[in-house]
Amino acid sequence: MIWEESTLDFMQSSLKSSSAVRAAQAPVWVHAASVGEVKGISPLVFKLLECETKLVITTTSDTGKAEASRLFPSADVNKAPLDISFLVRSFIKEKKPKLLIINETEIWPSMISEAKKFGIPIVLVNGRISDRSYPRYKFFKFYFARVLKKIDYILTQSELDKDRFIFLGARADRVSIAGSTKFDQQATALDEAKYELQKKLLLNENDFVITFGSIREEEEDLILSALKEIFSRKQEINPKIFIVPRHPERFDLFFNKLKDLEINGSKILASKLTDIREVGVINKNTKLILANTLGELLLFYKLADICFVGGTFSKVGGHNIAEPLLFAKPLIIGPEIHSQKEAFNIINSLGALIQVSTSAELATQILYFIDNKKNLQNISKNSDGAMLALRGTTDRVFEVVKGYL
């Protein structure tokens, strides 16, 4: 059979069109480790969803998977396959992603290598290498250099992170500084939830509310010590304390410590909260509330007069210190902040945080603000300025990402 030239042209055009349609329908694969990382990359994910991009999201933890499912109900959310070549290969064959976006330091060799074998572009966003992990990366530089060279583009949180990625083997022309998307989180939808929770807890404007967020196991006794000092000196003002553990498995163990908290022979009434819809069952005289409500940390920050962010008395070097600033809340942190030096420098330079070194200093600072509540207003104004200085990363990251869509 002899094909006419016009028929051949039509068939080639149809094949190209069909291929383009399949590419457009293919999902973007976004990988983040756990709850904090899922929330941190959420501004970019929402921007992708606004563009009607299909998404496959993977996490390494069950809590991260639950948070991703809550935040992105239209996405295909999965636990990441173990970083073994044939398992990753099977996952890629099933999901057929057109782009892999990796968050922070989730540098899994098999994930990256297999994606590259399938011709999938790889972009690492919010890239960072902490002081703690950098020596290990340097020791295995010969190995990680091969992995990093397979990443098409790396967007780092700071200049220091950029320099470290390049030293470890990333291509210098494919690395740039963008900041962190976690500072672009929006929290405007929490107003109604805050009002409802205030009513159920019988909170009023005169109550002094303190939220301790993302508290790690190694920080629990330090927080308890600070609370003893606060309650021993300020029982008459009845401060309300919310404590949100970083890891759910610590919930019951931490509560056993809280319920035994005693001042001058009197126990401080403590309660558990696992669902904000059940908050009405909490005794109105409760002073300590240990919350284990997935994804509700921002709500407890919004309720507070002052916030302490955990991980800052831990070798992890701090959790998201900008979250309280979303609501212009005064922020107290501990001495360990190496995981987010750039943000710390900006927030600290604008007078939007107080850093303490010990449990006694933490208690003293909180007691000072209880007695001088008006002084909180100045720090709140500074918090607004700090957030403005930190925002804008998501747009910069998206400009790079859309080039690979």
Residues 308 and 332 in one domain: yes
Distance CA 167, CA 165 (A): 5
Q: Where do we find the tokens 């973007």?
A: 28
Residues 194 and 138 in one domain: no
- CATH code (residue 382): 3.40.50.2000
Residue 336 inside a domain? The answer is yes
Checking if the pLDDT of 135 tops 90, the result is: yes
Checking if the pLDDT of 387 tops 50, the result is: yes
Residue 66 inside a domain? The answer is yes
Residue 398 inside a domain? The answer is no
Residue 381 inside a domain? The answer is yes
pTM equals: 0.81
Q: Which of 179, 203, 220 is the last residue of a domain?
A: 179
Residue 14 inside a domain? The answer is no
Residue 5 inside a domain? The answer is no
Residues 216 and 309 in one domain: yes
Residue-number span of the structural domain to which 102 is assigned:
24-179
Q: Which pLDDT tens digit goes with each residue over 90-110? A: 999 999 999 999 999 899 999
Residue 54 CB coordination number (10 Å): 17
Residues 353 and 323 in one domain: yes
Checking if the pLDDT of 280 tops 60, the result is: no
Q: How many domains does the chain have?
A: 2
What residues contact 4, with CB distance under 8 A and at least 6 apart?
none
Q: For residue 257, what pLDDT is reported? A: 92
Checking if the pLDDT of 335 tops 80, the result is: yes
Residue 386 inside a domain? The answer is yes
Q: Is 323 exposed, middle or buried (0-12, 13-18, 19+ CB in 10 A)?
A: buried
> What percent of the chain is predicted at pLDDT more than 70?
88
Residues 254 and 230 in one domain: yes
Q: Which of 127, 153, 179 is the last residue of a domain?
A: 179
Residue 19 inside a domain? The answer is no
pLDDT tier for residue 68 given thresholds of 50, 70 and 90: very high
- CATH code (residue 33): 3.40.50.11720
Residue 74 CB coordination number (10 Å): 9
Residues 60 and 92 in one domain: yes
